[in-house]
Amino acid sequence: MTQALPGIDVTTNEPLGLYVHLPWCVRKCPYCDFNSHPLKGSLPAEPYVAALLHDLEQWSGSIERREISTVFLGGGTPSLFSADLVGGLLEGIANRVGLSATAEITLEANPGTVERDSFTAYRAAGVNRVSLGVQSFNDAALKRLGRIHGREDIDRSIRSLARAGLDNFNIDLMFGLPEQTVEAALEDIRLALRAAPAHLSHYQLTLEPNTAFAHDPPPLPADEACWEMQETAASELTAAGFHQYEVSAWARPGRQCAHNLNYWRYGDFIGIGAGAHGKLTDVTGDAVTRWSMPRQPRVYLDQSQPPAQRSVPPDERVFEYFLNRLRLREPITRVDFSRRTGLAWSVVEDRVNEARDRGLLAVSEDGFRTTDLGWRFLNDTQQVFLP
């Protein structure tokens, strides 16, 4: 039997995210294992928006008086949806659930799909943050990654963001690209900084199962070179005033992504759209439910299949909490653990002490933080909390 979340009012006080999955792309990139589908024929935009809003209605009863504090339009390639459609979708959301007047509303955009003044139109539609999928500034590298955009498209998108006055934007960059040198990776960081983003996500390319790259692997740089790319990027970003608040996320002060922070803090979120996931804490604070929607857009669109739903048992809640929470550099407190999971700290105390003895955690009266060793070997640190 779990205890109720002590002192937390999940009905109103805690951040609540809304993730909206828009699953189509112009074509599939060979490294991509997201739920994204090459667009064949025309975009079924109107029926999809109607399905999303219908989907949202199913969850509106479960959130009672809670307001949505962040909306993330992810994909796929959400910028395939016009600003009018995005505006209609946001209006439909606000008509169905409480949407905070100060909500962070992020649109993921592919530089290859951005027309001249589209960001001005997206901003007028309600978008106030953009995540631009740049990946690299190098045309040869982009070609190798199967991206539909080149350097010119990136520059045009950045100019369009500036014209729209959207200074709260993220640049997604990857490193460890096929045959990439440390110098080329550093050049990408420098060019990204020149665009003056508020946030930068820096991911290493990995070969995920069931992708074209996994079947026919390209020659990737050695581990030592990738380590050096990460270290040189860290120095460059720190010198430019960014701080690393999560494994792959760097931000200027006050410009962290509130939507993603909520995931990593084990907060609640609703997920709508093909293959979207959601997590909600029961209003009694005594149960955590997760769900996922059917992955295939066609199946999602005909709404014949209900979401796969399950309650998260306490030992899994412990692992889920630490798996997410340890990605952040901020310390973990006993109070936060109990508020988020509904469990007493004594449930994990032995494991925390074991990790401390291995030098992975530095324990204090309030909780702990990861040591440099624990941060460097994050997988080992997370595994301490496996069920």
What distance in Å separates the CA atoms of residue 290 and residue 374, rounded to the nearest whole number? 29
What distance in Å separates the CA atoms of residue 314 and residue 317, rounded to the nearest whole number? 5
Tokens (6 digits) for 342 = 């509904």
Q: Considering the complex, what minimum distance in angstroms separates the CB of residue 112 from ligand SF4?
A: 8
What distance in Å separates the CA atoms of residue 171 and residue 129, rounded to the nearest whole number? 11
Side-chain half-sphere CA neighbours of 184 within 13 A: 19
Q: Does 74 bind ligand SF4 (CB under 6 A)?
A: no
Side-chain half-sphere CA neighbours of 179 within 13 A: 8
Taking CB under 6 A as the criterion, the residue among 69, 70, 110, 370 binding ligand SF4 is 110
Q: Considering the complex, what minimum distance in angstroms separates the CB of residue 22 from ligand SF4?
A: 10
Q: Does 70 bind ligand SF4 (CB under 6 A)?
A: no
Q: Does 77 bind ligand SF4 (CB under 6 A)?
A: yes
Q: Considering the complex, what minimum distance in angstroms separates the CB of residue 149 from ligand SF4?
A: 9
What distance in Å separates the CA atoms of residue 168 and residue 131, rounded to the nearest whole number? 9
Taking CB under 6 A as the criterion, the residue among 5, 18, 20, 25 binding ligand SF4 is 25
Long-range interactions of 5-9: CB distance < 8 A, separation 24+: 5/281, 5/285, 5/286, 5/338, 5/339, 5/340, 5/342, 6/338, 6/339, 7/339, 8/285, 8/339
Quick one: which segment of 29-37, 94-102, 230-238, 278-286 binds ligand SF4 (CB under 6 A)?
29-37
Which residues on neighbouring strands pair with residue 314, listed in sequence order?
A: none
Q: Does 273 bind ligand SF4 (CB under 6 A)?
A: no
Whichever of 26 and 373 has its CB closer to ligand SF4, that residue is 26
Tokens (6 digits) for 152 = 């010119």
What distance in Å separates the CA atoms of residue 257 and residue 279, rounded to the nearest whole number? 19
Quick one: which segment of 7-15, 74-82, 329-337, 354-362 binds ligand SF4 (CB under 6 A)?
74-82
Whichever of 29 and 200 has its CB closer to ligand SF4, that residue is 29
Q: Which parts of 113-142 interact with ligand SF4 (CB under 6 A)? A: 133
Taking CB under 6 A as the criterion, the residue among 2, 8, 11, 34 binding ligand SF4 is 34
Tokens (6 digits) for 20 = 């909206």
Taking CB under 6 A as the criterion, the residue among 17, 75, 111, 275 binding ligand SF4 is 75
Q: Does 203 bind ligand SF4 (CB under 6 A)?
A: no
Q: Does 69 bind ligand SF4 (CB under 6 A)?
A: no
Binding residues for ligand SF4, rule: CB under 6 A, are 25, 28-29, 32, 34, 36, 75-77, 110, 133
